[in-house]
Structure 1
């Protein structure tokens, strides 16, 4: 028998640079993920980070790093990566097309 405490949490953390004024971008991405994965994600957190950082983490896996990718993420691939990891049967509507 399993219960919520024994299951892995599904936590997204969006790390952003406050000095670069990326809070609004992080908040928008958080809102998109919360709407898309309502009832599926346990938590979406927004955390200030060091200079130049914009990263999206699912648990301990970095899904997007602005420095490595050379830019900010589009919502479609981020949603697809999260869906594939936590809810593979979930239809993302237009994000799947």
Structure 2
């Protein structure tokens, strides 16, 4: 499902986000895939997706803290991402 997009660790991703409570603290989790890879899948270009994923395998995975996102981000070798952050009471 594509209902959200975010730039994380300098890469653009599309996917979905979820807000939930963890010990009464509101947490947002975003999961998705690199925008350009997602475009291949939408068009049914599975071989192009595989080619592009294979070409990136040396630069991924990437794990780090994204200041703009406000939390940890994990990008896997297949171009998928998981990012988590705490939400303030006003969000």
TM range (shorter): under 0.3
Larger strand fraction of residues:
2
TM-score of the pair, normalised by structure 2: 0.26
TM-score of the pair, normalised by structure 1: 0.25
